[in-house]
Amino acid sequence: MKLAYWMYAGPAHIGTLRIASSFKNVHAIMHAPLGDDYFNVMRSMLARERNFTPVTASVVDRNVLARGSQEKVVDNITRKDAEEHPDLIVLTPTCTSSILQEDLHNFVERAQLEAKGDVMLADVNHYRFNELQAADRTLHQIVQFYIEKARKKGELPQGKTEKPSVNIIGISTLGFHNQHDCTELKRLMADLGIEVNTVIPEGACVKDLQKMPQAWFNLVPYRELGLTTARYLEAQFGTPYVDITPMGVVETARCIRKIQQVINAQGADVDYEEFINEQTLYVSQAAWFSRSIDCQNLTGKKAVVFGDNTHAAALTKILSREMGIHVVWAGTYCKYDADWFREQVSEYCDEVLISDDHGEIGDAIARVEPSAIFGTQMERHVGKRLDIPCGVIAAPIHVQNFPIGYKPFLGYEGTNQITDLIYNSFTLGMEDHLLEIFGGHDTKEVITKGISAESDLNWTKDGLAELNKIPGFVRGKVKRNTEKFARDRGIKDISTEVLYAAKEAVGA
């Protein structure tokens, strides 16, 4: 047992449901007790879905506990098949059904005899995988199912498309800015003269999955979702995949160069250097921003980054490499894929933090007192408490992170959006700082942050007044440094003089 108040990644079935409900005309039936269909609320509320979420529950109640589901699951599947005629029904296990250990495979087989559509059991163990891993597995499972089905029927299309083409893998419902990213990627592909063969799972039809082998390559924009599928397609059809997230100017260029290499190897003759150059210098504003005076002022400012692998890694690189910001630590909650994260970011930050305990993250933020945080909604709230601005860069997210306006994180427009996000976070901090310097806020008598209760040191009135003039976001650190300085030298009363002596001693 573990005491938990907050979790970064949801339970496994959420991942499966995200995949199933991203496809068109796929229905998921959860084997779950009443109330576990909360996914529908999230999709309807957060994503503001106009359509009913294609997820229903085959309710586990006392009768099911006593006698087993018996006909219930099968009936629910065949009923849904008759009502909605979905192409595929995905039976989704939950934590409850994991422990009931009913033979869901058997139910699926029996239901398949009657159902006109396909029926499948999501092969996900609740206690071993989280939302992200489950989504990745389910997507692979569905793709494999339809590729094999087509192969058996001899309907698998042969050969590649005439022009270079791509499958974009991993765009899903409730994903962080996924819809906007998808539009941006399609636009980028169009600019590069690459046809989009399929986009999965969002908006895709399962019947289209058999077309996937016709693409020249697969693009997997997010680390968490789609890699297993891309590897499967590579193993089956030798389709190469590009898994460089085009987030930030440098990474977008790297992604495009990789695409160039991959399609030239298959006989295309393209040179994207001119395009990259044009976009970087004149279309995206991010490169120019890095050179501008605004960004100069950010040099050496401290930031921390926390999120999923994709976004935290990309943001860390952007902050450090493209803006000269000092990333004190970068962290991820994708513990199962921590090695990749470490390898990606270690040269761009002082320290790497792998944890899914929000308390540990909160403490790490309080310890380093950065000028800005880039994290999830949880870090935003930590920031609120500590008076540090925060830009939200990854799930878990709230309804305000599903903007209606066009806000991709990927591609060249994405670089512009991220620049705004980063700069706005820091300016807020700077404004706050200026207000404090000119006494715009009420003078705070008590220093609430980072105070050590058992301090035997005494701040004199003028010392304290001087300390309060120091901008909020560095005050705690100055206070601690001064106290350390005083303690080391056996000074009991800290006056203005001591404060500045300490400052000089540290050379800050």
Partner 1 sequence: MTVAQQPEALNFECETGNYHTFCPISCVAWLYQKIEDSFFLVIGTKTCGYFLQNAMGVMIFAEPRYAMAELEEGDISAQLNDYEELKRLCLQIKRDRNPSVIVWIGTCTTEIIKTDLEGLAPKLESEIGIPIVVARANGLDYAFTQGEDTVLAAMANRCPDQAPVAETDKNERNAIQKLLNFGKKKEEVAQEESEYVDHPPLVLFGSLPDPVVTQLTLELKKQGIKVSGWLPAKRFTELPVIEEGYYVAGVNPFLSRTATTLMRRRKCKLIGAPFPIGPDGTRAWIEKICSVFGITPKGLDEREAQIWESLEDYVKLIRGKSVFFMGDNLLEISQARFLVRCGMIVHEIGIPYMDKRYQAAELALLEKTCKEMGVPLPKIVEKPDNYNQVQRIYQLKPDLVITGMAHANPLEARGINTKWSVEFTFAQIHGFTNARDILELVTRPLRRNNNLKDLGWDKLVKEEAKI
Catalytic annotation, residues: 294
Query: ∠271-272-277 over CA atoms, to 5°?
Result: 130
Helix or strand holding residue 26 (H, E): strand 26-32
The distance of closest approach from Cβ of residue 9 to partner 1 in the complex, given in angstroms and rounded to an integer, is 9
Residue 37 contacts partner 1 per CB under 8 A: yes
Return the structure tokens found at 30: 């959860």
Query: Applying CB under 8 A, which of residues 13, 140, 160, 258 lies at the interface with partner 1?
Result: 13
Beta partners for residue 55, in sequence order: 28
Residue 3 contacts partner 1 per CB under 8 A: yes
Residue 398 contacts partner 1 per CB under 8 A: yes
Query: Applying CB under 8 A, which of residues 69, 76, 228, 320 lies at the interface with partner 1?
Result: 76
Return the structure tokens found at 171: 């765009």
Residue 34 contacts partner 1 per CB under 8 A: yes
Residue 336 contacts partner 1 per CB under 8 A: no
**Residue type for 1, please?**
M
Residues 58 and 119: beta-carbon distance below 8 Å: no
Query: Measuring CA to CA, which residue among 386, 347, 349 is closest to residue 365?
Result: 386
- By beta-carbon proximity to partner 1, the closer residue of 37 and 436 is 37
Three-state SS string over 48-105 comes to CCCCCCCEEEEECCHHHHHHCCCHHHHHHHHHHHHHHCCCEEEEEECHHHHHHCCCHH
- By beta-carbon proximity to partner 1, the closer residue of 333 and 348 is 333
Q: Mask of contacts with partner 1, 95-124, x by CB under 8 A?
A: xx--xx------------------------
Query: Applying CB under 8 A, which of residues 19, 36, 325, 402 lies at the interface with partner 1?
Result: 36
| Strands, E assignment, 241-301 | 241-242
Three-state DSSP class for residue 352: strand
Residue 65 contacts partner 1 per CB under 8 A: yes
Distance CA 460, CA 496 (A): 8
- By beta-carbon proximity to partner 1, the closer residue of 61 and 493 is 61
- Strand order in 326-332's β-sheet? 351-354, 326-332, 302-307, 372-375, 390-392
Query: Applying CB under 8 A, which of residues 21, 23, 28, 49 lies at the interface with partner 1?
Result: 49
The whole-angstrom distance between residue 144's C-alpha and the CA centroid of its chain comes to 25
Query: Applying CB under 8 A, which of residues 15, 17, 26, 54 lies at the interface with partner 1?
Result: 54
- By beta-carbon proximity to partner 1, the closer residue of 70 and 261 is 70
Residue 83 contacts partner 1 per CB under 8 A: yes
Three-state DSSP class for residue 326: strand
Residue 71 contacts partner 1 per CB under 8 A: no
The distance of closest approach from Cβ of residue 248 to partner 1 in the complex, given in angstroms and rounded to an integer, is 30
Query: ∠392-395-401 over CA atoms, to 5°?
Result: 55
The site for partner 1 (CB under 8 A) is made up of 1-7, 10-11, 13-14, 32-38, 40-42, 44-45, 48-54, 56-57, 59-62, 65, 76, 83-84, 94-96, 99-100, 126-128, 130, 378, 381, 384, 396, 398
